Amino acid sequence: MEIKRVCVLGAGLMGHGIAQVCAQVGKFEVNMRDIEQPFIDTGMKMINDSLQRFVKKGTMTERESQEVRGRIHPTLDLTEAVQDADLVIEAITENPPLKKAVLSEVDKHAPPHAIIASNTSSISITEIGGATKRPEKVCGMHFFNPPQLMRLIEIIRGLKTSDDTVEVIKSVSTKLGKECVVVKKDTPGFIVNRILVPALNEAVFLVEEGVADPEDIDKAVMLGLNWPMGPLKLIDYVGADTNLFITGVMVNETGDQKFRPSTLLRQMVRGNLLGRKTGKGFYDWSEKK
């Protein structure tokens, strides 16, 4: 099956980056859909800003950046977005009922041959696929932030995902210039978050227990483990609320207390200290800083 047109659902933190990669590297025609015009406008601005950085670095010409923008077609209409798509990549909020409701609608309007892939970082692909009448054509396609730069895609099998679907997503991932790994079982957190979440939790516990300051914890991990970014700064980038949600899913699904979030993380979410998106988390992200 040849993929020619891609639909990305969501123009937010991950969605706009996925749309850009599909248009820029994969050279696909891309419909990017969101529910409100301001979300679309912000997503397109972030794409434009990213493309201009490539131009300034000399890795892309201005004409090439314009060609990329020309392949991205923003819309508020779900039916219009998916009706001619060969591949639909869902990148909306990590909310199971919302994802299932949206993909149920996608299933009604997308062509019968279309594959539906979810960029979820923690939610069961089997559960998501069950909201459609084509669970064999539903799989996980987990990009990492920012999608324009991060090379990995986790491909996750649901209980009914077909071999053909996995092979098509492998092919698309390669065309996007990515390395991919296949998660053979639909397990919470897949591979990366299964390993990462306990590590991030432990970093927060170190702060809560007063063992060290966030800066020193991050410095120790970066220099001692060769991480490109410390765990606490990573939480600030991802969002404390998103991190708390993922830990909750993993505790509920596995029953394993090694994933349980610290009291400090819960308090930060209650206090809207979510990190970069609210201006304050473990670090100060206000403009003056």
CA 219/CA 229 separation, integer angstroms: 9
With b meaning 16 or more CB within 10 Å and e meaning fewer, what string describes 157-178?
bbebbbeebbebbeebbeebeb
- Predicted local distance difference test score (pLDDT) of residue 288: 52
- Predicted local distance difference test score (pLDDT) of residue 42: 94
Give the pLDDT confidence of 91-142 residue by residue, as tens digits.
998 888 999 999 999 999 999 999 999 999 888 999 999 999 999 999 999 9
- pTM score, whole prediction: 0.87
- Predicted local distance difference test score (pLDDT) of residue 258: 83
Residues acting as catalytic residues: 121, 142, 154, 193
Domains of the chain (ranges, CATH numbers): 5-183 (3.40.50.720), 194-270 (1.10.1040.10)
Count of C-beta atoms within a 10 Å radius of residue 245: 19
CA 77/CA 281 separation, integer angstroms: 35
CA 34/CA 46 separation, integer angstroms: 14
Regions of the chain where pLDDT drops below 70: 288-289
| Nearby residues of 149 by Cβ (< 8 Å), 6 or more positions away | none
